[in-house]
Homo-oligomer: A and B are copies of this chain.
Amino acid sequence: MRVDEATTEAVKDDVAPAPLRRRKAHIRETNEAHLLACAEAVFAERGLEGASTAMIAERAGLPKANLHYYFPTKLALYRRVLEDLFDDWHRAADTFETSDDPVEAISGYVRTKMELSRRRPLGSKVWASEIIHGAVHMQDILTERVKPWLETRVVVIDQWVARGLLAPIDAQTLLFMIWATTQHYADFDAQIRALKGKRALSQKAFDTATEEVVKLVIRACGAKSPS
């Protein structure tokens, strides 16, 4: 796509014809989205340092300089991937709010998290890799976004315990267990595949695993069945 007669647009006219502006905005939007998706894959496969901008650009079918036109530095691109990931995770986390019944709320959350591991395993890997290597590029997300969410959930779980709906468990430990176990199916899928001797879990096998995890977690909570 060439710029054509609009080259000096910014100088001559602050307001370009609407259709042209829309077209240009559209190009930026799709290119950025495509680069973000390709970056997520390469970062997941190779890590932040193992991934090169050349690899990401090649996967996106663009020259490397083009990538640097949309994202000034590799780190800026990486940050955007992490922010996108948090948004997705946060939407999933809202499932927790849907019910005041602990069994329903917790099993719903576990299912949503497993579904997220299934739907976006590469993203989960980028997130995990970043934390493993010290979370240096996402301290703000953790303290400003994840921490407040966690604290409200702990309060809710503590109340369930106080009302005798759950065994006297530590809420944070429970949430860590749910995160660790559900994300294990995304992050450690290479190990799971090697140990099961399979190429990948089928949708059916994944659904079965989901229900097994739900069963284990619900029993771990010592939830009184809602009789």
Contact = CB atoms under 8 A, between A and B. Distances in A.
Interface of A: 44-50, 125, 128-129, 131-135, 139, 142-143, 146-147, 150, 167, 169-170, 172-174, 176-177, 179-181, 183-185, 187-188, 190-192, 194-197, 209, 212-213, 215-217, 219-222
A133 B191 contact: no
Nearest to A190: B135
A128 B130 CA distance: 12
Given A131-B191, A169-B212, A177-B213, 7 more contacts: A132-B132, A132-B187, A132-B190, A134-B190, A139-B194, A142-B194, A216-B220
Contact of A129 (B132, B135, B150, B215): B132
Contacts of A46: 49, 133
B194 A147 contact: yes
CB-based closest 3 A-B pairs: A49-B50, A180-B184, A142-B194
15 contacts: A49-B49, A125-B133, A129-B129, A129-B133, A131-B190, A132-B132, A132-B190, A139-B194, A142-B194, A173-B213, A176-B192, A179-B184, A180-B183, A180-B184, A220-B220
Contacts of A191: 131, 135, 142, 146
B173 A216 contact: yes
A150 B196 CA distance: 10
Contacts of A219: 167, 219-222
A131 B187 contact: yes
A202 to B, nearest CB: 15
B132 A212 contact: no
Given A49-B49, A169-B212, A220-B217, A142 B180 contact: no
A47 B48 contact: yes
A195 B134 contact: no
A200 to B, nearest CB: 13
